Structure 1
Amino acid sequence: MSQYTVLAAEEAENVNPLIPATYDIVWSAICVAIIAVLFYKFVAPRLTKVLDERAEKIQGGIARAEAAQAEAQQTLEQYQQQLADARLEAARIREEARTQGQQILAQMRTDAQAESDRIVAAGHSQLEAQRQQILTELRSEVGRTAVDLAEKIIGQSVSDEAKQAASIDKFLRELDDTDAIGVGR
């Protein structure tokens, strides 16, 4: 036994405590190989599949977001175009209304002027008719008064209507001539 002890002691001196025994290295390598095979056979495909699905979801989300953003941009452009069209239409309607308003005002002014002219013309014709009526009445009154005065001055009756009319006309002409001279001054 002493020989075995010496050999064991010699072996113990040559053994490095940091390097494991050969059987430990072999069994550890076998376990690592089995775990690596299981990992590449079962875990890696599932992990790859999950990562691919996530990448597809992310890419799909990005694509959907880009599509939504493009659609939103297109909708915004359409809205802005419609708004611009609506503003142009409103400006056109305002201008048309302004033009129609001016036309209506011009028509109303023309109608009012025509009505005013008609009323003035009717007033003038009415005044002229009244003037003629008053002149006729005045002539007959003046004629009767002149005949009455002539009868009183002469002392006899002036019954002849022809003489009366001639006397009245002569008197009125003299009266008109006197008025014309007085107005001319």
Structure 2
Amino acid sequence: MDATFWAFVALIIFLGIVFYMKVPGMISKSLDQRAEKIRGELDEARRLREEAQQLLGEYQRKRKEAEQEAGDIVAAAKREADQLVVEAQKKTEEYVARRTALAEQKIGQAERDAVNEVRAKAVDIAVEAARKLLGDTVDTKAGADLFKTSLQQVKAKLN
């Protein structure tokens, strides 16, 4: 019996102990558990990736909505600003027109007042001149009658 035979017998005994102790089952079970653990981790990673994709899509959608809303707000602000400018121009034009009309009314009133004042002065001067002229040439009683008549005629023409 040589050493090869004994090495073979030792191998058989070793294999018998290994099978008796169910080492291949334990190794298989351990490998199955490890494979299951890796499969679970892969599934978890896949689920997390899908969830991340969904979140990314949702955030991109929200970003687009926010951009559109911001664009709408800017457009509305521009429209409102344009409208305010138009209203301000209109109010300014109305204000200028009112002020111009008021100034024209004041100028017209001042012209009328000046004309009336000049007329009144002219009447006063004419009356005084007529009184002096008549006083020098006509007696007092006839002059007073003539003065009253002339004064009534001048007043009638002014009114």
TM-score (norm 1): 0.69
Deviation at 1:52, TM superposition (A): 1.1
Residue 114 of structure 1: aligned partner: 94
> Where does 1:1-185 land on structure 2 (aligned, <5 Å)?
21=1, 27-41=6-20, 42-154=22-134, 155=136, 159-160=147-148, 162-164=149-151, 166=153
Moved more, 150-159 or 38-47: 150-159
Identify if the C-alpha distance between structure 1 residues 111 and 96 changes in structure 2 by more than 3 Å, giving closer, same or farther: same
Give the Cα separation in 1 of the matches to 2:6 and 2:105.
Answer: 140
Percent identity, aligned pairs only, is 24
CA distance in 1, matches of 2:19, 2:130: 158
Give the structure with higher Rg (CA): 1
Q: Residues 42-96 of structure 1: CA distance to partner in whole angstroms, max 9, x if unpaired?
A: 2211111111111111111111111111111111111111111101000101101
In structure 1, list runs of 5 or more residues that go unmatched. Answer: 1-20, 173-185
* Cα offset, 1:121, TM superposition: 1.2
CA offset digits 1:7-45 (Å, max 9, x no partner): xxxxxxxxxxxxxx26x5554443322211222342211
8 Å Cα contact 1:146-1:168 kept in structure 2: no
Q: How many residues align?
A: 149
**CA displacement at 1:141 relative to structure 2:** 0.7
Write the letter of the residue equivalent to 1:163: S
The residue that corresponds to 1:7 in the other structure is none
Cα RMSD (Å): 2.5
User: Unpaired runs of 5+ in structure 2?
Assistant: 138-142
Structure 2 counterpart of 1:159, one-letter code: F
CA–CA separation in structure 2 for the residues paired with 1:111 and 1:143: 47
